A = this chain, B = another copy of it.
Amino acid sequence: MDKLHLHNQLCFPLYALSRQMTALYRPYLEKLDLTYPQWLVMLLLWEHETLSVKKIGCELWLDSGTLTPLLKRMEETGLLVRERCPVDERVVNVLLTKEGRLLEKKAIDIPEHIFSELSISHSQLKSLKKELSGILNNLDKKVSG
């Protein structure tokens, strides 16, 4: 049994590194007028063009309490449009605008910039990502909706 010390805790480096990684992204994302969670939404939209709030929440493990105001801000800056689904009026679909689509060009080389600032190898990166994803997907997804 380890003592209750900060540096014995598994969870602390996860918490600290996660925040420092978004700090690494910050200067690049600022140029695009994006925050880190907004960047994650853009990644989804660049891939899928249109997604419901629900689907975005499932992918990002975020609930509507976080997403609704975040998406409203992104709608104001013109990157996306939110509209009720005519088939099921409960659903709100999020659509990429032309402006949002164009932003991808300016974002395309952000990941390699970030990677170069981490002094780790490509293979270490890959295995780490896999390991974290594995643990994540073993957890019960309990985001409200």
A residues within 8 Å of B by Cβ?
1-6, 8-25, 36, 40, 43-44, 46-47, 59-61, 104, 107-108, 111-112, 114-115, 117-120, 124-125, 128-129, 131-133, 135-136, 138-139, 142
Contact = CB atoms under 8 A, between A and B. Distances in A.
A138 B119 contact: yes
A29 to B, nearest CB: 11
Nearest first, the 4 A-B pairs at minimum CB distance are: A18-B18, A13-B132, A6-B43, A13-B133
B132 A14 contact: yes
B136 A16 contact: yes
The prevalent SS among residues of A at the interface is: helix
Given A24-B139, A120-B135, A138-B118, A111 B2 contact: yes
Nearest to A107: B4
B15 A18 contact: yes
B21 A114 contact: no
A119 to B, nearest CB: 5
A47 B45 CA distance: 46
Given A6-B40, A13-B129, A40-B6, A118 B135 contact: yes
